[in-house]
């Protein structure tokens, strides 16, 4: 079964410097029918204006990822971590018992477009931690590249939850088939492009809740980029 979550139905927050689209309830946007999907709690599609960003603020008991689509995102946190991430980089912050951080557009002239993803950890009170890794486009082109997993296999970043995230950059006309486990649930987020997903048309910003499907076939109508979440 596949249930689409259309891009235009998402919540929106527009502060001028920030245009954010919420796949699930977040901040002032509340929809009791979209509170998350399994342990997946937040997918925010954020565009931040040049020189702007999120001032220092705190998080607790959440696994938080940033996945940059365009531009550059600067990060600093209370663990002493500080870096600039760009397309192909994945940044993981395990908030655990508490962490404070800031995120800013690293450019004074160009916007930054990134996805912020929250996953509920398997338990509370974990030690805060930070990690990041670059996944070259060649490793994601026309294939599903594991970027996050509970055991850090295949060079992925390790998460404190029974969840995995795959990323793919598909060329126009590319076709990709992936076997699915019947007792797992999956969420597909179209970061950009247009695809056919098991007969369902999916466009930029769309999400698809997938359950009880034996396989997933993606056919890119135009150059596309997706994230596939594998959840218990």
Residue 75 confidence (pLDDT):
87
Residue 79 confidence (pLDDT):
84
Residue 201 confidence (pLDDT):
96
Residue 57 confidence (pLDDT):
84
Residue 103 confidence (pLDDT):
92
Residue 183 confidence (pLDDT):
93
Q: Which residue has the higher pLDDT, 59 or 146?
A: 146
Mean pLDDT along residues 184-190: 98
Taking only the tens place, the pLDDT of each residue in 76-117 is 888 888 889 999 999 999 999 999 988 999 999 999 999 999
pLDDT classification of 49: cutoffs 50, 70, 90: very high
Residue 95 φ then ψ, to 5°: -70, -35
pLDDT classification of 187: cutoffs 50, 70, 90: very high
Mean pLDDT along residues 224-228: 98
Residue 59 confidence (pLDDT):
85
Which of 81-85, 112-116, 173-177, 189-193 has the weakest average pLDDT? 81-85
Please list the alpha-helical segments (H only) found in 90-187. Answer: 137-140
CA angle 144, 147, 150 (to 5 degrees): 115
DSSP-derived pairing of the beta strands 112-119 and 82-85: unpaired
Residue 186 confidence (pLDDT):
98
CATH for 2-231 (3.40.47.10, 3.30.450.20, 2.60.120.10, 3.30.70.100): 2.60.120.10
* 92 Cβ contact partners less than 8 Å away, ≥ 6 residues apart: 63, 64, 65, 129, 130, 131, 132, 148, 157, 159
Mean pLDDT along residues 30-44: 97
Taking only the tens place, the pLDDT of each residue in 106-148 is 999 999 999 999 999 999 999 999 999 999 999 999 999 999 9
Residue 139 confidence (pLDDT):
97
The string of DSSP letters for 184-211 reads SEEEEEEEESEEEETTEEEETT-EEEEE
Read off the pTM. Answer: 0.95
């Amino acid at each position: 079964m596949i249930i689409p979550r259309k891009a235009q139905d998402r919540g929106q927050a527009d502060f001028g410097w920030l245009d954010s689209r919420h796949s699930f309830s977040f901040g002032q946007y509340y929809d009791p029918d979209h509170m998350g999907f399994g342990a997946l709690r937040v997918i925010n599609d954020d565009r931040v204006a040049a020189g702007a960003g999120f001032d220092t603020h705190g998080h607790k008991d959440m696994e938080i990822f940033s996945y940059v689509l365009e531009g550059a995102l600067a990060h600093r946190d209370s663990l002493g971590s500080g870096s600039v991430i760009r397309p192909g980089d994945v940044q993981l912050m395990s908030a655990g018992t508490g962490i404070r951080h800031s995120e800013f557009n690293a450019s004074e002239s160009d916007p930054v477009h990134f996805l912020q993803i929250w996953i509920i950890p398997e338990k509370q009170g974990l030690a805060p931690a930070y990690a990041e890794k670059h996944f070259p486009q060649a490793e994601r082109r026309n294939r599903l590249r594991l970027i996050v997993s509970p055991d850090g296999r295949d060079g992925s970043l390790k998460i404190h939850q029974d969840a995995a995230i795959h990323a793919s950059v598909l060329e126009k006309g590319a076709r990709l088939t992936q076997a699915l486990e019947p007792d797992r649930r999956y969420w597909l987020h179209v970061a950009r492009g247009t695809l056919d997903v098991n007969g369902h048309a999916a466009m930029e910003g769309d999400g698809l809740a997938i359950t009880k499907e034996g396989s997933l076939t993606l056919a890119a109508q135009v150059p596309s980029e997706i994230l596939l979440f594998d959840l218990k």
